[in-house]
Amino acid sequence: MNAVPGSPPVEAAAVAIEPPLAMLCELTHRCPLRCSYCSNPVALEGASHELSTAEWQDLLSQAARLGVLQVHFSGGEPTARRDLPVLVRHAVEQGLYTNLITSGVLVDQAMADRLAEAGLEHAQIGFPDITEEGSTLITAFKGGLARKYAAAAALKQAGVALTMNAVITRHNVERLPQMFEVAQQIGARRIEVANVQYYGWGLLNRAALMPSPQQLAWMTGVVTEARARLKGQLAIDYVIPDYYAKRPKACLGGWGRQFLNVTPSGTILPCHAAETLKNLSFDSIRDRSLADIWLHGSAFAAYRGDAWMPKGCRSCEHKETDWGGCRCQALALAGKADAMDPTCEQSPLHASVRAMAEQEAAANINTMTYRTFTDTAR
């Protein structure tokens, strides 16, 4: 394993620390959409707390020096930041691969051209559905679907590579075959068939979004058929709801191993939901360097390696594949961040978590709490 370039050996660490592969920058929590599955924290950060352009640029430079290879500009809606092209250009100048994660509703041809000129390489556009009615049901934003199609066309015209992020809930599963057609029509080379991950607002609305096991089985068949039929034309990623999984996911490649997340105000997190772990304290880029936080920050050290793992995980043959699963999910479902991830079939809670998902899907509760922007003091 390689140490972080330019850093002294970390003698106290029980595990070797490699440079992070990717950094997700939540440039802002502002967003015109109010998606019921948004993974942002329920307590959003206001514009007055956001890092300045110069602070983001400095952070991007530090990230490149640390060894980060990819930067993902996200939000909220990242295009709500007027300085986005400046930040993209700065990232490119540091040698970082740039990806924009956007709803698309604020992207017109002029913005797409500015982003492409700045060097943006890839954009991922979120589609909560492919009908206006279904899209509005999730986003509480009328007219959004047409704007997404326009954004895709503009970015394609500007030469930016596209991925369609098709977010799946029990309300749109039946339109999955048409989603592959839409992906091809908009010129995407990749589609993510991404079942909602239940964090933040998504967790709050889980009962209103969860698909049934029958829907999941059907969807898996559709994906299998489409992968064979569209091989070489459209790459298809498929993410199932964790609650129906047998093995936990290696959340973000393992805690503190490959990924870091930056909130709009510059708090550096091991994952986007980490602030739900109230036993941890998190550092700000306004107080410490990125390398210092990555190497020595207490939150990153908390669940690195296997020392924290419960006995069943530490002796598991999969521990260096799934890295113990997801700590935020363990907290949400088992009440303890260092518990076995209940989506693992070895967990004593596994059967009850699946049963809960099935019951929620069957209850067919369709009332959603839409993302509401309140400037919550942090």
What minimum distance in Å lies between the beta carbon of 251 and ligand FES?
Answer: 3
Hey, what are 203's tokens? 């967790």
With CB under 6 A, what is the number of residues at the site for ligand FES? 10
DSSP state of 284: B
If you compute the radius of gyration of the chain from its CA atoms, what whole number of angstroms results?
20
Strand 259-262 to strand 268-269: parallel, antiparallel, or no bridges (unpaired)? antiparallel
What track of x and - describes contact with ligand FES for positions 169 through 208 (by CB under 6 A)?
------------------------------x---------
Say if CB 216 and CB 246 are below 8 A apart: no
Which of 127, 255 has the CB closer to ligand FES? 255
In the bound state with ligand FES, the residue whose beta carbon lies nearer, of 213 and 253, is 253
| 273 touches ligand FES (CB under 6 A) | yes
């895709």: which residue's tokens? Answer: 152
The residue among 67, 25, 22, 28 whose CA lies nearest residue 45 is: 28
**CB 149 → ligand FES: shortest distance, Å?**
31
Please give the Cα distance from 20 to 252 (Å, whole number): 11
35 is an annotated ligand-binding site residue: yes
Residues 6 or more apart whose CB falls under 8 angstroms from that of 31 comprise 38, 75, 76, 77, 80, 103, 371, 373
Residue placing its CB nearer to ligand FES in the complex, 42 or 106? 42
Q: Which is nearer to ligand FES, 274 or 285 (CB)?
A: 274
Choosing from 251, 301, 302, 349, the residue that interacts with ligand FES (CB under 6 A) is: 251
- Could you say which residues in the range 281-340 bind ligand FES, by CB under 6 A? 326-329
Structure tokens at 162: 């596209």
Q: Based on the shown chain and the rule CB under 6 A, indicate whether residue 257 belongs to the binding site for ligand FES.
A: no
Token look-up 């207490």 returns 298
Residues that bind ligand FES (CB under 6 A): 199, 251, 255, 271, 273-274, 326-329
Annotated binding site for [4Fe-4S] cluster: 31, 35, 38
